[in-house]
Structure 1
């Protein structure tokens, strides 16, 4: 059996320029590589990819869960982009979470274990 080295989320982007701006300027990601149909970002050694998509409804049904250490500090840093109906809250599944919608409609769910 082969060892899995990494699992890299790939989300749709309806506008590469807007996605590049949102993730680099607002969320602090680094754009590592850009191809005609793929963007590759990194943050803290983690990768997030975006593929070119012409149908916004696909992005509006996509999400990724991002586990973090200090959810309160990250929430403060990202507060301008926090979804108005999904602010920082403790969830019954033992996670403290908040959500951000990107420019394409992808849902970014940030979470940290409670306690």
Structure 2
């Protein structure tokens, strides 16, 4: 029934967000609709809307399931975006994951399933 999910997160500054997502996270800018930004990397899309009131746009984030998490972790450590409290580790529920944060304060959990149960893909 469900096929895909796309996070919609806050952007506090359009130019800084475009720079961060393309230079630090390795996403491509797909479109910009008057500050509503759409990025893509490896088939994963991120949408960001302009938020003029930072206090109203807190605590946003998402999980992104990946393959080859070690390579991605090394890339994001080099880019300086790994959350200080989110190093790569094996979680008790079977995911190897790490956390990263963008320039707007959005948090991402990048995870690779090591439990033997893989999310269903098409």
Cα separation, partners in 2 of 1:52 and 1:70, compared to 1, 3 Å? same
Q: Secondary structure of the residue that 2:76 maps to in structure 1?
A: helix
Which of 20, 23, 32 is equivalent to 1:22? 20
Which of 66, 73, 94 is equivalent to 1:68? 66
Q: Secondary structure of the residue that 1:111 maps to in structure 2?
A: strand
C-alpha distance after superposition, 1:45-99 (max 9, x if no partner): 2211001111223443100110000111100000021011111111111100111
Corresponding residue of 2:8: 10
TM-score, normalised to structure 2, is 0.86
Corresponding residue of 1:96: 96
Q: Give the unaligned 5+ runs of structure 2.
A: 116-122
Corresponding residue of 2:119: none
Once residues 56 and 91 of structure 2 are traced to their aligned partners in structure 1, the CA distance between those partners, rounded to angstroms, is: 27
Corresponding residue of 1:43: 41
How many residues get paired? 113
Q: Give the unaligned 5+ runs of structure 1.
A: none
Alpha-carbon distance, 1:8 to partner: 1.4
RMSD of aligned C-alpha atoms?
1.4
TM-score, normalised to structure 1, is 0.91
